[in-house]
Amino acid sequence: MNKMPARHRFLSLAAVSLLFALLPTTVSAKKLNVVTATTDMAALAQEVGGDRIDVESIAKGYQDPHFVEAKPSFLLKLRHADLLVVVGLQLEIGWLPPLITQSGNPRIQVGAAGYLDASQFAEILEIPTGVVTRAMGDVHPLGNPHYWLDPDNGRRVARGIAGKLAEIDPADQAYFEQRFQDFDKRLTAAEQKWDAEMAPYRGRKLVTYHNSFTNFGKHFHLEVIGYVEPRPGIPPTPTHTIDLIGLMKRENCKLVLVEPYFDLKTPNSIGAATGAKVLVYLPSVGGEKQVTNYFELFDYDINLLKQAFQ
């Protein structure tokens, strides 16, 4: 068998090298890989990213976002991510940092161009002003991280994500901007409808299991008078439950909202003692199968509240 001459071998190698060098340009229209910590950030990213991004959330919508396991399978998503969107305010502190470190992906390291802390765009409530200690429970020193439950914050975060996507993919800047404008319009219309639906129930009092309802309550003028947890992250105690029952009776509070990942035993006993309705509300997109986007999240919760208050 004849051997290939050295010159031909060199030319073949050069041709193959050239082919590989050109390969990336032929797939330049590839979508951006966006990974988010929660489904809500994924829903907002999808709104503005449209078909120019592939977005995936690490946490599920029915999962407690404070306690997600840092599974290695998440590394498979993170290692190819162009952008990582986190809720921030230390919501993910218990599980996300080792995943970021282990991902081997320089683009999404804290401080890199592909790391986006969405909390910077949102109005943050309950920022502790005095000394913060663990005696307050699992308190978030930078403020309440459940900010996406105010549609105005949803708009601000979506705008921030659109800006970041445009920064990573400048060629599609106009597309992301147009997607944001469209989302803004639809959200404004939906907000008017939601505001009108909730207007009759202004000032209504309720109790939630965890302190996750503050932003929703502020936007729709509902008053959260207490929590089933004595402190954030601390399971209910008999003393606190008795105090809460007393408070609810005094304030004539007739609604207890529970996040889908908490046990209903204590809320049900509170409901039985006070005559309050106990309902599972959704703090996140994907909390139920039918809630697949940011609009459906508010539709679901507002319908729930309307039925509860009627």
Partner 1 sequence: MKNRILAAAVVLWFSFPLWGQQASPPDLAAQNAALEQRMRELEDRVIALEGKLRILESAPAAPAQPTQPGAAVEAGAAAPAATVPAAVPAPPPTEAAVSVATPAGQLPVYGGSSAAAKALNPDVSVIGDFIGAAGGNTAPTLATLHPFPSLEMHESEIGLQAIIDPYARGDFFMSFGETGVNVEEGYITFTALPGGLVAKVGKMRSVFGKVNMMHNHVLPWVDRPLVTTNLVGGEDGIDDAGFSIERILPAPKGIFLEATGQVLRGDSADVFKASSRSDVSTVAHLRGYTDITESTNLDLGLSYARGHNDATLPLSTVTGDFLTQLYGADATLRWKPLRRSIYHSFVGRGEFIWSQRQQFPREQRAFGFYASGDYQFGRRWFAGGRYDRSSRSRFDNLTDQGAAATLTYWPSEFSQLRGEYRRTHYAENRDSNEFFMQLIFSLGAHGAHPF
264 binds partner 1 (CB under 8 A): no
- 178 in helix, strand or coil? helix
The Cα 182–Cα 169 span in angstroms is 19
Alpha carbon dihedral 83, 160, 62, 281, in 10-degree steps, equals 180
Binds partner 1 by CB under 8 A, chosen from 13, 18, 19, 76 = 76
130 binds partner 1 (CB under 8 A): no
Give every strand in the sheet of 32-36, ordered side by side: 53-57, 32-36, 83-86, 115-117
Tokens of 261: 């990942």
101 binds partner 1 (CB under 8 A): yes
69 binds partner 1 (CB under 8 A): yes
Binds partner 1 by CB under 8 A, chosen from 4, 16, 30, 67 = 67
87 binds partner 1 (CB under 8 A): no
Task: Using the minimum distance from each CB to partner 1, give the nearer residue, 225 or 234.
Answer: 234
Binds partner 1 by CB under 8 A, chosen from 54, 126, 167, 197 = 167
Region class of 4: left (phi > 0), else alpha (psi between -120 and 50), else beta: beta
Give the orientation angle of helix 39-49 with respect to helix 151-168, to 10 degrees: 60
Q: Which stretch binds partner 1 (CB under 8 A): 8-16, 50-58, 64-72, 268-276?
A: 64-72
Binds partner 1 by CB under 8 A, chosen from 54, 56, 125, 163 = 163
The Cα 100–Cα 268 span in angstroms is 39
71 binds partner 1 (CB under 8 A): yes
Task: Using the minimum distance from each CB to partner 1, give the nearer residue, 14 or 112.
Answer: 112
Binds partner 1 by CB under 8 A, chosen from 50, 56, 79, 269 = 79
235 binds partner 1 (CB under 8 A): yes
The Cα 116–Cα 164 span in angstroms is 8
Picking from 299, 47, 39, 54, the residue whose alpha carbon sits closest to that of residue 182 is: 47
Task: Using the minimum distance from each CB to partner 1, give the nearer residue, 123 or 197.
Answer: 123
Q: Which stretch binds partner 1 (CB under 8 A): 24-32, 110-118, 211-219, 301-309?
A: 110-118
CA atoms within 13 A on the CB side of 179: 23
Is 61 within 8 Å of 110 (Cβ atoms)?
A: no
299 binds partner 1 (CB under 8 A): no
Binds partner 1 by CB under 8 A, chosen from 116, 198, 248, 308 = 116
Is 268 within 8 Å of 278 (Cβ atoms)?
A: yes
Contact set with partner 1 (CB under 8 A): 60, 62-64, 67, 69-73, 75-76, 79, 93-95, 97-98, 100-106, 109-113, 115-117, 119-124, 134, 137-138, 142-143, 152, 156, 159-160, 162-164, 166-167, 173, 176-177, 180, 233-235, 260-263
